[in-house]
Structure 1
Amino acid sequence: MGGDLTRGGLPGGPDTAGTRRGTGPRPAAAPKAVGIVWALLGLNTLGSAGAKTIVPLPRSLIQMATMGALAAAFALALVLNPRLRIRASAFVFLLTLLLVPSVISSANLEVGFGALFRCARLALFVGTLWLLSRWWDGSPTFVRHHIRMYFAVLGSVVVGLVVSPGVAMPEYYGGRLVGALWPLTPPQIGQYAAVITGLAVLLVLGRRTTGAGAAVVIVPALVLLALTHTRTATLGLLIALALAICSLVLTSAAARRFFAWAVLGAAVAAVAFSSALRAWFLRGQSQENLSDLTGRAKVWDALLAAPRTTSEQLLGMGLGDKSFGGLPIDNSWLAVYHEQGLIGVFIVAAMITVLGGVALLRPPSLPRACAIFLISYVAISSYTEAGLGDASPYLLHLALAASLLAPPAGATPLPTPPAPRRRVPRWARDRR
């Protein structure tokens, strides 16, 4: 698949030396080790709490692995970019600003040293993104890194399912698929499957890979998504992919054909399999439980009703485990409000608004479509999932969107040779 994704460029190969007129020396391509840094960032965001695994893994050991991965990612990025060359990025700048309310609210030792530890983790995460920004040039390079990274994670889920189906689909999760080798929850697996499915579809429509190569990713990812019964990931995939494809409809015949067939297939499936789809969507829950968002609304109401000082409203309570009263918040906006206050909510809203605005202003292209898909998916998932205020897969998705929206590194034109000096005859010079 990787070889198919590298097609394109100037006839006869890229002009890296700047020998062709109108071009200049272009920046060197991103080294392969950049993909390792990206994978280490992904490993750090996998989390340490979730389902029971085949071999019980102490949480302290998992935390050491994830934090070690982040430290290794920062160190490797520093080795690859020793001169600290970075590119301007409004997204990473706003993410850096988010550290301010996080540190101020977490400095209150009443919330524990864990909050400061999470601030240090977020700072390393942001610092690594700054170092990687040197290679953000609007190309699909980081899209390939993203797909390969999460495809490897889903591969571990498949291995766990084959080795121990009972552990991989436990009763305490209602028979939904979990990670049996690494403690991954159904929403996590659903998120990874949905994201790489959407990106792979867009790469096919953009002719950056073959249909057979994309099917290797899309087919197993959709099967795993169905086994997780994750409604948020499914709806996010369908809506975000529809928006991304619509951005290509005017310029891509393949996108128009795919969109037409997708609409027709969805209509047929809605009629033929309506009862099965409804049963899958309800997951055995009552209509009342579904309208209450499986208990999330009660936590949200309690969080909003809790008394807070003016400082706590503006700056939050400090970085925590995204829970309130011992129950998960499961809403990015309320989690940010609880931990980083209204200032944090404003900064996160600015991040998504800036990325969305830049994406809408760019001309139709594959990178723009991939960015629209990622931004839309994160915005939809933020309603029932937390993670926009701390190092998480959702911030990594937005960082990928920022890399796709970065303007290509400008080529320096060759200096124009001076015009030949006109020789003046001697008799004319004497006359002057």
Structure 2
Amino acid sequence: MGGALTRGGPPGGPDTAGTQPSAEPRPAGTPRTVGIVWGLLILNTLGSAGANTIIPLPRSLIQMVTMGALVSAFTLALALNLRLCIRASAFVFLLTLLLVPSVISSAYLESGFGALFRCTRLALFIGTLWLLSRWWHGSLTFVRHHIRMYFAVLGSVAAGLVVSPGAAMPELYGGRLVGALWPLTPPQIGQYAAVITGLTVLLVLGRRTDRASAAVIIVPSLVLLALTHTRTATLGLFIGLALAIGSLIPTSAAARRFFTWAVLCAAVAAVGFASALQAWFLRGQSKENFSTLTGRAKVWDALLAAPRSTSEKLFGVGLGDKSFGGLPIDNSWLAVYNEQGLIGVTLVAAIIIVLGGVALLRPPSLQRACAIFLISYCAIASYTEAGLGDASPYLLHLALAASLLAAPAEVAPLSTPEVPRRRIPHGAQRSEVT
């Protein structure tokens, strides 16, 4: 997979000089170790809570692994960037500002000492992104790292399904696919599958990989997505891809053909498989349970109705486990409001608006399409999933979008060396004149 994704390019070989309109900007010597740092960040955001695994893993051990991955990522990024060369990034700057209400609210210890620990984790996460920003220049390098690492995670999920189907699809989760080797929930698996599927489809349309290599990623990912019965990830995939491909239609014949066939296939599926699609979408839930979004709306109403002081409204109650009254909040905006207050909500909204605005202002390109897909997916998922206010896969998706929207690094033009004039002796000059 990795080799094919790397070798794929426009007809006639890769345009390393960047002369073709669709050519990928040259990475300017991105070290391979940067991919390891990105993979460690992904490992850190996998989380420690989920289904029961085949071999029971103590939560303390999982937290040690994930936190150790973050410390290792920061240390390795610092070793790669000892001169602290960073690029201006509105995304990372706004994330840094988000630390302010997080620290202020967590200092009161209303959420316990765990809030300060989560602030430290968020600070290391943001610091690592600052160090990596040196290599953000609009190339697809980080997209390939993203696909490879999450495909490896999905590989562990598939392995768990083969080894123990009962543990991978337990009745506790309604027969939905979970991580049997590493504790992953169905929404997590669905998110990873949807994101790498969308990115791989865009790489195929941009001729950055061949169809056979893309099928190796897309087909298993879609199967795992279907087994998770995750409606948010499915909607995010289709809506995000529609927006991303729509941005390519003016300049890409392949995007126009794909969009036309996708609309036709969707129409046929809606007519011929309407009952099956409806049954999959409802997941056997009652109308009342479906209308309350599997009970989420009750938690949201209770959170909004809870009395709060002025400081809690502005700064929140501190970084926690994204729950209220012992129940998950499952909404990024309400989770940020609860933990980082109205200031946090404003900063997170600014992140989405800034990234979306920059993407709309960029000329049509594959990088822009990938960024639009990631931004739209995160915006859609934010309604039923938490994570935009803390170190999470969603922030990594947005960081990837920010790297794609970064302007290519400018190369200083070669200046023509000044040729020193030959000094003519005074006598010789006078003889020439005479």
TM class by shorter chain equals: over 0.9
Q: Residue 2 of structure 2 contacts residue 148 of structure 2 at CA under 8 Å; is this kept in 1?
A: no
Matched, 1:415 2:415: yes
Indicate how the Cα distance of structure 1 residues 323 and 27 shifts in structure 2: closer, same or farther if over 3 A, else same. Answer: closer
What does residue 236 of structure 1 align with?
236
TM superposition shift of 1:104: 0.4
TM superposition shift of 1:141: 0.2
Indicate how the Cα distance of structure 1 residues 11 and 397 shifts in structure 2: closer, same or farther if over 3 A, else same. Answer: closer
What does residue 22 of structure 2 align with?
none
TM superposition shift of 1:111: 2.3
TM superposition shift of 1:430: 5.3
Indicate how the Cα distance of structure 1 residues 113 and 430 shifts in structure 2: closer, same or farther if over 3 A, else same. Answer: same
Which is further off, 395-404 or 410-419? 410-419
Q: Residue 109 of structure 2 contacts residue 318 of structure 2 at CA under 8 Å; is this kept in 1?
A: no
Q: Residue 110 of structure 2 contacts residue 317 of structure 2 at CA under 8 Å; is this kept in 1?
A: no
Letter in 1 for 2:232: T
TM superposition shift of 1:331: 0.2
- Looking at structure 1, the residues matched to 13 and 265 of structure 2 have their Cα atoms a distance apart, in angstroms, of 39
- Looking at structure 1, the residues matched to 296 and 150 of structure 2 have their Cα atoms a distance apart, in angstroms, of 27
Indicate how the Cα distance of structure 1 residues 28 and 252 shifts in structure 2: closer, same or farther if over 3 A, else same. Answer: closer
- Looking at structure 2, the residues matched to 12 and 371 of structure 1 have their Cα atoms a distance apart, in angstroms, of 22
Letter in 1 for 2:181: L
What does residue 280 of structure 1 align with?
280
Q: Residue 5 of structure 2 contacts residue 213 of structure 2 at CA under 8 Å; is this kept in 1?
A: no
User: Identity of aligned pairs, percent?
Assistant: 81
What does residue 406 of structure 1 align with?
406
What does residue 379 of structure 1 align with?
379
- Looking at structure 1, the residues matched to 420 and 148 of structure 2 have their Cα atoms a distance apart, in angstroms, of 55
TM superposition shift of 1:8: 5.3
What does residue 159 of structure 2 align with?
159
SS of aligned partner of 2:300: helix
Q: How does 1:14-413 map to 2 (within 5 A)?
A: 14=16, 28-413=28-413
TM superposition shift of 1:427: 8.4
TM-score, structure 1 as length reference? 0.94
Residue by residue, what CA displacement relative to the aligned partner does 1:266-320 show, whole Å, maximum 9, x if unpaired?
Answer: 0000001000000000000012211110100000000000000110000000000
- Looking at structure 2, the residues matched to 328 and 348 of structure 1 have their Cα atoms a distance apart, in angstroms, of 20
SS of aligned partner of 1:157: helix
TM superposition shift of 1:15: 6.9
Indicate how the Cα distance of structure 1 residues 210 and 319 shifts in structure 2: closer, same or farther if over 3 A, else same. Answer: same
Residue by residue, what CA displacement relative to the aligned partner does 1:49-68 show, whole Å, maximum 9, x if unpaired?
Answer: 01010011111110000000
Q: Residue 27 of structure 2 contacts residue 141 of structure 2 at CA under 8 Å; is this kept in 1?
A: no
Letter in 1 for 2:61: L
TM-score, structure 2 as length reference? 0.93
Which is further off, 400-409 or 410-419? 410-419
Letter in 2 for 1:78: L
Letter in 1 for 2:62: I
SS of aligned partner of 2:2: coil
SS of aligned partner of 2:389: coil
**How well do the aligned residues superpose, as a CA RMSD in angstroms?**
2.2
Which is further off, 269-278 or 2-11? 2-11
TM superposition shift of 1:419: 8.2
Letter in 1 for 2:198: G
Indicate how the Cα distance of structure 1 residues 297 and 49 shifts in structure 2: closer, same or farther if over 3 A, else same. Answer: same
Give unmatched runs, 5+ long, in structure 1.
17-25
SS of aligned partner of 1:407: coil
- Looking at structure 2, the residues matched to 423 and 254 of structure 1 have their Cα atoms a distance apart, in angstroms, of 64
Letter in 1 for 2:60: S
SS of aligned partner of 1:181: coil
SS of aligned partner of 2:152: helix
SS of aligned partner of 1:389: coil
Residue by residue, what CA displacement relative to the aligned partner does 1:111-141 show, whole Å, maximum 9, x if unpaired?
Answer: 2110000000000000000010111110000
Give unmatched runs, 5+ long, in structure 2.
19-25
Letter in 2 for 1:34: V
SS of aligned partner of 1:180: coil
Q: Residue 154 of structure 2 contacts residue 221 of structure 2 at CA under 8 Å; is this kept in 1?
A: yes
TM superposition shift of 1:13: 7.8
Residue by residue, what CA displacement relative to the aligned partner does 1:164-183 show, whole Å, maximum 9, x if unpaired?
Answer: 00000000100000000000
What does residue 21 of structure 2 align with?
none
- Looking at structure 2, the residues matched to 15 and 377 of structure 1 have their Cα atoms a distance apart, in angstroms, of 32
Which is further off, 105-114 or 136-145? 105-114
- Looking at structure 2, the residues matched to 226 and 297 of structure 1 have their Cα atoms a distance apart, in angstroms, of 25
Residue by residue, what CA displacement relative to the aligned partner does 1:356-382 show, whole Å, maximum 9, x if unpaired?
Answer: 000000000000000000000000000
SS of aligned partner of 1:74: helix
Indicate how the Cα distance of structure 1 residues 324 and 376 shifts in structure 2: closer, same or farther if over 3 A, else same. Answer: same
Indicate how the Cα distance of structure 1 residues 258 and 27 shifts in structure 2: closer, same or farther if over 3 A, else same. Answer: closer
TM superposition shift of 1:12: 9.5
What does residue 3 of structure 1 align with?
3
Indicate how the Cα distance of structure 1 residues 147 and 281 shifts in structure 2: closer, same or farther if over 3 A, else same. Answer: same
Residue by residue, what CA displacement relative to the aligned partner does 1:324-346 show, whole Å, maximum 9, x if unpaired?
Answer: 00000000000000000000000
- Looking at structure 2, the residues matched to 295 and 28 of structure 1 have their Cα atoms a distance apart, in angstroms, of 50
